[in-house]
Structure 1
Amino acid sequence: MAEQHAGGFSDDERAAVRQRADELRSTKGLKGAARTARELEACLEAVDALDGTDRVVATELHRVVTDEAPHLAPKTWYGFPSYALDGEVVVFFQPAAKFGTRYGTVGFQQSAALDDGPMWATSFAVVEVDDGVREQLRELVRRAAPIPG
């Protein structure tokens, strides 16, 4: 577990903040297709940098988003492979290795259309990818980011 500092952030959390600042700097001044290409490249690099189950889950999430919500733009968000609509992250993968947890997490942000009554899940632990997980990811992504029109 990472050491907690007086300021309240652990070493891992501080590294994540630095990583987010680097992400923002890497696209500064880029517009349109150049920015989109750089963000896609960063997302794919983030997936490729993963190992084991983290890589399998991130690869599958990328495939699902590409198939079910092609209008979402791949990018990174605090180093996580993420997918956004109009600049707002909708869905992301937080690898287990990032914070030393026992499972990776597919998470959905506030812009995801998952509302289901007075309470609904926005985060899903994933320890392996099988047909059931694939279908559940597809359904969640379809609900979270319906194709406009």
Structure 2
Amino acid sequence: MKKTTNNRQKHAPHADKANGESLVLAKIAAMPGKYRAMGERLHNLIKASSPTLSARTWYGMPAYAKDGKVICFFRGDASERYMTLGFTEGAKLDEGNLWSTSFALKELTVTEEMMITSLVKKAVSED
């Protein structure tokens, strides 16, 4: 009797990663116009800052995980005055006894992009 393999199970990690990316892109596409472009830029910026992060949704928000643990996320809804970029306790942003884990974004300029790139790199650092 020939042993069969379960292709779905064999390819699940890749399928989950692709599905997570699709869900995140769908969430961004559903954002109101003023936040959609910023969401697309944030997504690309986060992915470029740390290619090891995998996209997924987390409580309905676009999020990025390392080894299955969410490191950062963002949200932007029509009812909100600004987008929010947040980091979970898995992010390695500790500085003394007090540090920021959430940021309001009204506009995304080169200055903010540089800051976000630095934060994401620090959040996933191995030290």
Superposition TM-score, scaled by structure 1 size: 0.73
Shift of residue 53, structure 1, vs aligned partner: 2.9
Paired residue for 1:93, among 62, 69, 74? 74
Matches within 5 A, 1:131-142: 131-142=110-121
Could you tell me the percent identity over the aligned residues?
35
Shift of residue 43, structure 1, vs aligned partner: 0.8
- Classify the secondary structure of the residue corresponding to 1:128: coil
- Runs (4+) of structure 1 moved beyond 3 Å? none
- Classify the secondary structure of the residue corresponding to 2:120: helix
Q: Where does the alignment leave 5 or more consecutive residues of structure 1 unmatched? A: 1-28
Is the contact made by 1:93 and 1:105 (CA closer than 8 Å) also made in structure 2?
yes
Q: Deviations over 1:40-71 (max 9, x none)?
A: 11011111111233212211211111111000
Aligned to 1:26: none
Q: Deviations over 1:78-122 (max 9, x none)?
A: 11111001111101002143xx22111000001001001100000
Larger Rg: 2
Give distance in 2, aligned partners of 1:42 and 1:142: 23
Instruction: Give the aligned residue type for 2:18.
Output: A
Give distance in 2, aligned partners of 1:65 and 1:130: 15
- Classify the secondary structure of the residue corresponding to 1:107: strand
Give distance in 1, aligned partners of 2:25 and 2:124: 20
Is the contact made by 2:52 and 2:66 (CA closer than 8 Å) also made in structure 1?
yes
Give distance in 2, aligned partners of 1:53 and 1:136: 21
* RMSD of aligned residue pairs (Cα, Å): 1.8
Aligned to 1:84: 65
- Classify the secondary structure of the residue corresponding to 2:73: strand
Paired residue for 2:27, among 35, 43, 46? 46
Give distance in 1, aligned partners of 2:66 and 2:51: 10
